[in-house]
Chain A
Amino acid sequence: MTTGEIDEGLGREAGREADGADRRHHVSEYLRLARWEVPSDAEEGPPVVLGRAPVDDHLRGAGGGMRTGGLLTNLDSLGGFTSGLAVLPQWIVTTSLLATVSDLRHVGPLRFRVDVVRRGRSSVVTALDVVDEGADDRHVAAATMTCAVLDPGAMVLEFDRPVAVGMPPPQPGAVVPEEFFCIEPGEGPVTRLRLADELRNPWGILHGGAVAMLADEAACRAAAAVPGAGGPAGVAAADAVLHYLRPVKVGPVEARCTVLGTRSGRTTVRVAIHDVGAEGRMTTLGTVTVLAV
């Protein structure tokens, strides 16, 4: 499971480190994700959250638009945030994210909408939709995300409602996602991520966005290594199924990939992510569809 979305959702006091640093917005500032709450269509209905993010050059992948890992990170942040608002004063952890990416070419900015489609006692399900504002609202992706409800313990969850967080400014000299998320260079079926402190969320575990970007990068490397695939410049991640099983606490983190098959230029890669320092236990399992571009 991931509590990456908690980075974005926690209230004013939560997430602040002893040294005064605030890691809640480290990832969303990198992706420049704005988010705001709008009234529900139904009276007393669950919150609806909208988001907006530019497609900065350093975030673009081989498909031409925002890398799917970045897209998934934004979906994780917004879906988790919306689910959390729906169950206050409790909070949530993401347990699964099912996403289909319909277009890899983006002009930007991308606009997101999140609706709660089920709010149960122990889980919340959201439906997420992404369009490209710069391309006449062309569809980019659709996803469903499930979160488990949890007791936030000592975390302070305070929000000024409706919540509105503006778009962070451009970051001069922003690095590419592999560097930002501390993914080690390499090729082939195994890809490693160094668990840097800045990638931990306020609960001390790896941000869900880092998991998503690792899955993207690892699947692309595995698919690119297949004979005839054309190398890493010729592939891009698209659809993803991610089951967040356990938090990543120790690191380093290793994504172990198996190519399941290729049909019509689409390669399905099974991705199992392990926390090497925690007896190698599996923390995330899923698949990523990698396209030849």
Chain B
Amino acid sequence: MGFSAYPPPDHLLGDMGMDAELTTEESGAVRTRVTPFVTTADGGVRAGVLATLVDIVGGAIAARVLRPDWLATADLAIQRTGPVLGPWVEARGSVVRRGRTTLVIEALVVSVDDDGEEIEVDGGPAGPVAWASMTFAVLPARNPASSIQMAGDLPVRWSFEGGSLDGPILDALPVEVLDGPAGRVSVPVRPYLHNSFSAIQGGAIALVAEAAAAEALGASVGGDASSVVVTDLQIAYLSLGRVGPVVTSTRVLSTGPDGHGSAVVELRDTGADDRLMTVVNAVGAPADPGPGARS
């Protein structure tokens, strides 16, 4: 399978510099380098970046499994479970179930070295960085054609090549904070963020939701977005964001005495009658360096 026309040369995925591989008909992996531009205050990788990784690996697997039909991400859940211990993080996905109308994929994110080998601790594999699951809706082949081309033989490897991030990833989108305590942020819909349907890509949506949740949860504990690390995202994709700008609203559900909090973020396409695009449940933790800190 090769991604001959997607993403275009100037694209977020290219700037993230991801390497991808489909190993079997129902499994694959995508990895990205851990840089300060994609990490949080505790040294871990942003949940939105991890969500982007797993969305890409899940989408690649789904595209192959479902061909000639196509797909749309219906929901995605990701939870950070352990520290990042290597120079790369790799999302390893596999099919859990293929149904007539949906496909469910599970992904484990692990730390790997420059050779792609999983980092070991005390002679065994280090614990996972994150766990994720996704549901893809099956779109019959007569639906909008994709720019993604299929190839036959496995394994197949490819890279999302482009420039590179020269600053924090939220600045690359760019995310504009309209009202931090209200978790209200905005992002334009532009080709740099497009998916193959020319709408804002699912990983970018996760990043925007993460930013909004961090703003609101940080304010709720008397700090700012940097005082909270979003660890969990539960994302329900409802409609495509084609026009923009996409604007969030956030409702903080709780902030506990241990500093953990949760929030619900809604994303709307303000250029399309304020249509509700996505609902995200987010969990945040204090950003203090601790067990989650990168070694």
A residues neighboring B (CB under 8 Å)? 95-96, 98-100, 102-103, 117-118, 122-123, 125, 127, 138-139, 141-144, 146, 148, 239, 241, 243, 245-246, 260-266, 268, 270, 282, 285-287, 289
Main SS class of interface, A: strand
Q: Judging by beta carbons under 8 Å apart, are B253 and A139 in contact?
A: yes
Query: In residues 262-290 of chain B, which contact A (Cβ within 8 Å)?
Result: 262, 264, 276, 279, 281-283, 285-286, 290
With A98-B75, A102-B254 given, can you name 11 additional A-B contacts, CB distance below 8 Å?
A100-B281, A117-B236, A142-B264, A243-B97, A260-B79, A260-B127, A260-B128, A263-B231, A263-B292, A264-B286, A282-B97
Considering the chains assembled together, what is the distance between the CA atoms of A98 and B80 in angstroms? 16
B75→A285 contact, CB < 8 A: no
Give which listed residue, B128, B261, B281, B286, contacts A143 with CB less than 8 A.
Answer: B281
Residue of A96, A100, A245, A263 near B262 (CB, 8 A) is: A100
- B77 contacts the other chain (Cβ, under 8 Å)? yes
Contact assessment for B262 and A122 in the assembled complex, using a CB-CB cutoff below 8 Å = no
Nearest-neighbour CB distance to chain A for B109, whole angstroms, equals 10
Complex: A264 Cα to B264 Cα, angstroms: 22
- Residue of chain A at shortest CB distance from B108: A260
Q: 16 A-B contacts, Cβ less than 8 Å apart?
A: A96-B74, A96-B75, A98-B281, A99-B281, A100-B281, A102-B254, A102-B262, A125-B238, A144-B281, A146-B74, A243-B96, A243-B133, A261-B81, A263-B231, A263-B285, A285-B106
Chain B residues 52 to 91 lying within 8 A of chain A, measured CB to CB, are 74-75, 77, 79-82
Contact between chains at A146 and B262 (CB < 8 Å): no
CB-defined contacts of B258 to chain A, threshold 8 Å: 264-265
B32 within 8 A of A: no
In the assembled complex, the CB of A268 is this many whole angstroms from the nearest CB of chain B, namely: 5
Contact A268 B260 (CB under 8 A): no
Assembled-state Cα–Cα distance A243/B127 (Å) = 23
Tell yes or no: B196 within 8 A of A by CB. no
Chain B residue at smallest Cβ distance from A101: B262
Contacts A125-B238, A263-B291 given: A100-B279 contact, CB under 8 Å?
A: no
B137 within 8 A of A: yes
Per the bound structure, the CA–CA distance linking A125 and B264 in Å amounts to: 15
Inter-chain CA distance A16–B82, complex, in Å, is 49
CB neighbours (8 Å) of B276 from chain A are 117-118
A289 to B80, CA, bound (A): 11
With contacts A100-B253, A125-B236 known, is A146 near B135, CB below 8 A? yes
B12 at the interface (CB under 8 A from A): no
Contacts of A100 in B (CB 8 A): 232, 234, 253, 262, 281-283
| Distance A117 CA – B266 CA, assembled complex (angstroms) | 11
Chain A residue nearest to B79 (CB atoms) is A268
Please, which residues of chain B bring their CB within 8 A of the CB of A270? 131
Chain A residues whose CB sits within 8 angstroms of the CB of B286 once the complex forms: 264
CB pair B232 A117 closer than 8 Å: no
Q: How far is the CA of A45 from the CA of B281 in the complex (A)?
A: 24
**Would you give the 0/1 interface string for B115-143, flagging 1 where the beta carbon is closer than 8 Å to chain A?**
00000000000011001010101000000
Given known pairs A263-B81, A268-B81, the reply for A246 and B236 (CB within 8 Å) is no
In angstroms, Cα B143 to Cα A253, docked, is 39
